[in-house]
């Protein structure tokens, strides 16, 4: 298995885990239950929220797509 395929698979599964965590945390936030302490930072922002995991999921899914495209392009050259 080449590097692009491994990277694509790892990024995909990390993206899935991040998506699931984002959905769970968002559901808990709707119910008023917060897992992470809501100690405000400068400007009143909460350091970790469901949106943090959502952005991580987008990043990892994008990395998985890019790795797959690179692997496909290399296969087309050969």
- Name which residue leads in pLDDT, 4 or 47: 4
Task: State the chain's mean pLDDT as an integer.
Answer: 85
pLDDT at 14 over 70: yes
Determine the Cα–Cα distance for residues 57 and 70; give it in Å rounded to an integer.
Answer: 20
DSSP label at 5? Answer: H
Per domain, the residue ranges of the chain are 3-35+45-77
Determine the Cα–Cα distance for residues 30 and 44; give it in Å rounded to an integer.
Answer: 19
pTM to 2 decimals? 0.77
Task: Provide the Cα torsion 22, 26, 29, 33; round to 10°.
Answer: -60
Separation in Å, CA 55 to CA 2, 22, 62, 63, 77: 27, 9, 11, 12, 33
pLDDT tens profile 50-78: 888 899 999 999 999 999 999 899 889 87
pLDDT at 16 over 80: yes
């Amino acid at each position: 298995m080449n590097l692009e395929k491994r990277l694509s698979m790892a990024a995909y599964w990390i993206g899935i885990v991040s998506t699931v965590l984002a959905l769970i945390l968002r559901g808990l936030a709707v119910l008023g239950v917060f897992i992470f302490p809501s100690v405000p930072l400068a400007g009143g922002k909460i350091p970790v929220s469901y949106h943090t995991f959502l952005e991580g999921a987008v990043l990892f899914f994008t990395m998985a797509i890019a790795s797959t495209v690179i692997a496909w392009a290399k296969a087309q050259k050969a």
